[in-house]
Amino acid sequence: MSDSIDEVLKELEKEEATITIRSEMRRFSKPVTLVLGLNPKVHDMKSIAKELKSRLSTGGTVKEGYIMLQGDFRDRVKEILVQLGFKESSIEVH
């Protein structure tokens, strides 16, 4: 019973989360894509990062509440997050 409640809460959080995807320049003029706004208490950020890295064939990491990917993949990250069940209207790309 409690497992089904947890799953419903996770789905609601997916629908209500406001996710921001942006690109930054890091050391040696290398671009990185940051995925912000995921709640680490609700979402398994490591598995989301693993899926993104796998589909984009790039490296990355999970840091203090955000996912960092090597390279500028803003539009493709949005597509993948929508496929993972996040609402397209709740994802902002900068």
39-51 pLDDT, tens digit each: 887 788 999 999 9
Mean pLDDT, residues 1-28 taken together: 74
The residue that leads in pLDDT, 5 or 71, is: 71
Domain holding 83: CATH number?
3.30.780.10
Looking only at the bridges linking them, the beta strands covering 30-36 and 60-63 are unpaired
pTM for the model stands at: 0.81
Cα–Cα distance, 92 to 94 (Å, whole number): 7
> Would you state the pLDDT for residue 66?
93
Containing structural domain, residue 47 = 2-93
Residues 17-38 have pLDDT tens digits of 689 999 999 888 899 999 999 8
Structural domain total, the chain: 1
Sign of the Cα torsion 50, 83, 71, 36 reads negative
**Across all residues in the chain, what is the average pLDDT?**
86
